[in-house]
A and B are shown apart, each in its own frame.
Chain A
Amino acid sequence: MLKAVVGFITGIVFIGIVGWNMADVMMLREVESPYGVEETAARIQRNMQSLSANGWTLSGLRNPAKAVANSGMNVPPVLLVEGCSTKYSGPILKNDATRILSILMPCTITVYKKDNGKTYIGLMNAGLMGKMFGVGDIMAQVAKDQEIFITFDPKKPAPPLIKTSPGGGGGAGGKASDGC
Chain B
Amino acid sequence: MLKFKYKGSLLALTFVLSIGMIWPVHANDAKAPEKAVVSGAVDVFGIAVDEQKKKSTADHSKFKELQVDFKDGPAVTKACISCHTEASKQLHKTKHWNWDYINADTKQHLGKKNVINNFCTSVPSNYKFCTACHIGYGWEDENFDFTAEEKVDCLVCHDTTGNYKKLPGLAGHPNYKTMEWPPHSGKFRAPTDLKQVAQAVGKTSRATCGACHFRGGGGDAVKHGDLDSSLTTPDRYLDVHMDAKGLDFSCSKCHTSDSHEVAGSRYQPTAVDDKGTLIRGSKEERNAATCVACHGNVPHFGEFAKMNEHTDKIACQTCHIPAYARGNKQTKMSWDWSTLGKMDDQGHAMKIKGSDGSVIYDSKKGDFTFDHYVVPEYQWFNGEVEFTLADTKIDPTKVVKINSFKGSYDDGKSRIWPTKVFRGKQMFDKGNNTLVVTSLSDDPETALWKNFDINKAVEYGMKYAGRDFSGEVGWVETEMSWPITHMVAPKEDVVECHQCHTENGRLAGIEGIYIPGTNTTPLLDKLGFIVAFLTLIGVLIHGAIRYFMHKRGG
Binding site for B on A (CB under 8 A): 20-21, 23-25, 27-28, 30, 36, 38-39, 41-43, 60-64, 66-67, 69-70, 72-74, 76-77, 79-80, 103-104, 108, 110, 113, 115-117, 124, 129, 132, 157-161, 163, 165-166
Query: Residues of B contacting A39 with CB < 8 Å?
Result: 354-356
Which residue in A72, A80, A110, A166 is a CB contact (below 8 Å) of B235? A72
Binding site for A on B (CB under 8 A): 1-2, 6-8, 10, 13-14, 17-18, 20-21, 23-30, 235-237, 322-323, 326, 328, 352-357, 360, 369-375, 489-490, 492-493, 499, 504, 506
Q: A38 CB to closest chain B CB, in angstroms?
A: 4
Contact at B10–A79, with CB atoms within 8 Å?
Answer: no
A95 to B260, CA, bound (A): 76
Query: Residues of A contacting B8 with CB < 8 Å?
Result: 20, 23
Query: Residues of A contacting B24 with CB < 8 Å?
Result: 67
Of listed B13, B27, B323, B326, residue having the most chain A CB within 10 A: B27
**A contacts with B: majority SS:** mixed
Known: A63-B23, A74-B493, A160-B355. 19 other contacts (CB 8 A): A20-B8, A24-B1, A61-B27, A62-B27, A63-B26, A63-B27, A64-B23, A69-B237, A69-B328, A70-B25, A72-B236, A76-B323, A80-B20, A104-B14, A115-B499, A115-B506, A116-B504, A161-B355, A163-B28
The residue on B at minimum CB distance from A27 is B13
Query: Residues of A contacting B354 with CB < 8 Å?
Result: 38-39, 158
What are the 10 tightest A-B residue pairs by CB atom distance, in nearest-first order?
Answer: A42-B355, A38-B356, A163-B28, A24-B2, A74-B493, A117-B375, A39-B355, A38-B355, A67-B23, A67-B25
Known interface pairs A24-B1, A74-B237; A163-B493 also in contact (CB < 8 Å): no
Q: A161 CB to closest chain B CB, in angstroms?
A: 5
The residue on A at minimum CB distance from B19 is A64
A130 to B305, CA, bound (A): 51
A21 to B3, CA, bound (A): 11
Contact at A28–B30, with CB atoms within 8 Å?
Answer: no
Contact at B30–A62, with CB atoms within 8 Å?
Answer: no
Query: Residues of B contacting A27 with CB < 8 Å?
Result: 10, 13
A150 to B28, CA, bound (A): 23
Known interface pairs A23-B7, A24-B1, A113-B373; A66-B29 also in contact (CB < 8 Å): yes
Query: Residues of B contacting A42 with CB < 8 Å?
Result: 355
The residue on A at minimum CB distance from B9 is A23
Query: Residues of A contacting B374 with CB < 8 Å?
Result: 117
A103 to B9, CA, bound (A): 14
The residue on B at minimum CB distance from A69 is B237
A165 to B25, CA, bound (A): 9
Query: Residues of B contacting A63 with CB < 8 Å?
Result: 23, 25-27, 29-30
Query: Residues of B contacting A132 with CB < 8 Å?
Result: 10
Known interface pairs A73-B237, A79-B27, A103-B18; A28-B489 also in contact (CB < 8 Å): no
Query: Residues of A contacting B355 with CB < 8 Å?
Result: 36, 38-39, 41-43, 158-161
Query: Residues of A contacting B328 with CB < 8 Å?
Result: 66, 69
A12 to B352, CA, bound (A): 59
Query: Residues of B contacting A124 with CB < 8 Å?
Result: 13
Known interface pairs A61-B27, A62-B25, A66-B25; A157-B326 also in contact (CB < 8 Å): no
Contact at B493–A64, with CB atoms within 8 Å?
Answer: no
Contact at B356–A161, with CB atoms within 8 Å?
Answer: yes
Of listed A36, A70, A129, residue having the most chain B CB within 10 A: A36
Contact at A24–B7, with CB atoms within 8 Å?
Answer: yes
Known interface pairs A24-B7, A158-B360; A116-B375 also in contact (CB < 8 Å): yes
Query: Residues of B contacting A115 with CB < 8 Å?
Result: 375, 499, 506
Q: B502 CB to closest chain A CB, in angstroms?
A: 9
Query: Residues of B contacting A159 with CB < 8 Å?
Result: 355
Known interface pairs A69-B237, A77-B373; A64-B27 also in contact (CB < 8 Å): no
Q: A16 CB to closest chain B CB, in angstroms?
A: 11
The residue on A at minimum CB distance from B360 is A158
Known interface pairs A23-B7, A24-B1, A115-B499; A160-B26 also in contact (CB < 8 Å): no
Q: A89 CB to closest chain B CB, in angstroms?
A: 15
Contact at A74–B20, with CB atoms within 8 Å?
Answer: no
A67 to B19, CA, bound (A): 11
Q: A73 CB to closest chain B CB, in angstroms?
A: 6
Contact at B23–A104, with CB atoms within 8 Å?
Answer: no
Known interface pairs A24-B1, A67-B25, A159-B355; A73-B13 also in contact (CB < 8 Å): no
